[in-house]
Structure 1
Amino acid sequence: MNGPEIQISFAPGLRLFVSAERRTGPTPVTTDGASSLGHVVESLGVPLTEAGRLLVDGRPVEAAHVPSAGETVEVQDVTRPQQVPGAPLRFLLDVHLGTLARRLRLLGVDASYESEDIGDPALAALSARERRVMLSRDRGLLRRRELWAGAYVYSDRPDEQLRDVLERFAPPLAPWTRCTACNGELSGTDKDAVRARLEQGTEKTYDVFAQCVKCDRVYWRGAHHARLETIVSDAMREFGGATAG
């Protein structure tokens, strides 16, 4: 680029996205005099989904702002909990986040998940069509303009991923109300109604059942319930202030 030079700095939480020389404080950037500040920020590695307020000489500006020579730019972190206006809070997760999707569903959070790689354009279009927040570790996907909204998942560990999403968006929690397999809603059901779908041991041991209204999967408090209960109780203890009605 040959144009106005600005000074730019990034909040500590954003420094993993930028090159090492830009992680310690303000550094010079030569712009082309026509590109928006949002374009400049993304060209340096930070998806705009992760950028909070953009300050130019201490005053907030929009991402469409075109930098002028001598300006000092500060890119802040997203404010938490993050508000996503315009639609009910719902999520879309890419193929690499299946465990996170199941745990969000366990907590009653609307989390659509693509178990096959349908490609970035299709995911972005689905996010826009259904007005879902795209969760991904793919920075290229999060830079696609057609996304409704998006968020980078910072960890590759499911426990940390779940905590990050709950802390960032504070979704209402309603444990045990969604199918972990398909995201459909669960409804209590009579044992007689699902008896034909049960193994003999399950039929004799359990009396309380729920069934997915979308895929008909049957749920009961089986051998894995204690492990799932730990996930639920930990989440509710820390993030259960907002609960679904």
Structure 2
Amino acid sequence: MFFGGDLPRFVPRSTPGGEVQYTLGRRASIKDAIEALGVPHTEIGSLTLNGQWTGFEALLRPGDRVLVLPPLPPVDVSAASVLHPVPAAGLRFLVDVNVAKLARMLRMLGFDALDDPDADDGALAARAAVEQRVVLSKDGGLLKRRSVVWARYLRADHPGEQLREVVRFFGLSRYSTPFSRCLRCNEPLVPVAKADIVHRLLPKTKRYYQDFSRCPRCDRLYWRGSHHAHMQRWLQELCEEPCFGARGRLFSGSTTFSGNSAIAAKTR
């Protein structure tokens, strides 16, 4: 078996060129063999068996030669492939507790990102399957579960670098709608008239800001606070290419936002 890209990191006994000999002790599929060597099936972009494209369920025989390659970014989970004949419904994430800070960061970019710190691996895998969510984790055991179809084993350790990795790997800058979700609840924000919530605003907020949004679940209020420009610059640097916000506007330091794309602040 030959592992390309950065996949040898999962296979401690591979050669510097990514080659490893696998001894068939029983009837085994390619998926069984690859995961026995340490590589979660979610980290594989393509497989060839004796020079022919193949899927995870192909059975191995003595003398077979298998080439295992990682996906090529940006990965489109909505596109069918040999390994994923049924595409995902869209870019919706399920964030494991070991990379928990990613959930809030992805919501800041406008993506549906759930987290459930109390759920075990079985519950996370089941939810990912039912809701067709992309799992983000540093737990190889979770990603080897058959019910987990789309996922990313994060290579980076720092939350900011993890977010950059996810943005690049899935090409998220094309779909970003910054500041359109509640950072706490993950719910899409809805515009709210200032007159309807003016009694909840502090004097300076009431005086200087006109456009507001509200979370329909937790009732948290959002608007363009003084830190809005700083957050815009940070997100722009993160994407390293133009990010498009709500209504197709280019997301940059000079862009103004209104309605459901305002940055968060809250007054009770």
Q: TM-score range by the shorter chain?
A: 0.7 to 0.9
Q: Which residue of 2 aligns with 1:160?
A: 161
**Is the 8 Å Cα contact of residues 236 and 242 (structure 2) preserved in structure 1?**
no
C-alpha separation in 1, matches of 2:16 and 2:246: 38
Q: What RMSD, in angstroms, separates the aligned Cα atoms of the two structures? A: 2.3
Provide closer, same or farther for how the CA distance between residues 210 and 194 of structure 1 changes in structure 2, counting only shifts above 3 A.
Answer: same
Cα displacement string for residues 40-69 of structure 1 (whole angstroms, at most 9, x for unaligned residues) = 000111000001211122221111111111
The residue type paired with residue 122 of structure 1 is A
Q: Does 1:232 align with 2:235?
A: yes
The answer to whether 1:66 aligns with 2:59 is yes
Give the 3 Å change call, closer, same or farther, for CA 23–124 of structure 1 in structure 2.
Answer: farther
Separation (CA, whole Å) in 2 of partners of 1:36 and 1:165: 29
Check if 1:106 corresponds to 2:99.
no
Matches within 5 A, 1:61-100: 61-84=54-77, 85-100=87-102
Where does residue 4 of structure 1 map in the other structure?
none
Select the structure that is richer in strand: 1
Tell me if structure 1 keeps the 8 A contact 2:13–2:20.
no
- Counterpart of 2:143 in structure 1 is 142
Other structure's SS at 1:29 match: coil
Structure 2 CA distance for aligned equivalents of residues 243 and 28 of structure 1: 51
Unaligned runs of at least 5 residues, structure 1: 1-7
Q: Is 1:191 matched with 2:194?
A: yes
SS in 1 for 2:56: coil
* TM-score normalised per structure 2: 0.80
Q: Report the TM-score, using the length of structure 1 for normalisation.
A: 0.87
Aligned length: 237
In structure 1, C-alpha distance between the alignment counterparts of 2:40 and 2:245, rounded to whole Å: 28
CA displacement at 1:20 relative to structure 2: 4.6
* Structure 2 counterpart of 1:202: 205
2:181 paired residue number? 178
User: Which amino acid is the alignment partner of residue 21 of structure 2?
Assistant: P
- The residue that corresponds to 1:3 in the other structure is none
Q: Is 1:126 paired with 2:119?
A: no
Q: In the TM superposition, what whole-angstrom CA distance separates every residue of 1:174-214 from its partner, at most 9, and x where no partner exists?
A: 11211111111112222232233333443344333221122
> Kindly tell me: are residues 241 and 209 of structure 1, through their superposed partners in 2, closer, same or farther at Cα, counting changes over 3 Å?
closer
Displacement after TM superposition at 1:19 (Å): 0.4
Give the aligned residue type for 1:57: N
Shift in CA distance, 59/242, structure 1 to aligned 2, threshold 3 Å = farther
Q: Distance in 1 between matches of 2:170 and 2:109?
A: 14
Q: 1:45 aligns with which of 38, 49, 52?
A: 38
What fraction of aligned residue pairs are identical, expressed as a percent? 38
Any gaps of 5 or more consecutive residues in structure 2?
Answer: 78-86, 249-268
Q: Which amino acid aligns with 1:65?
A: A
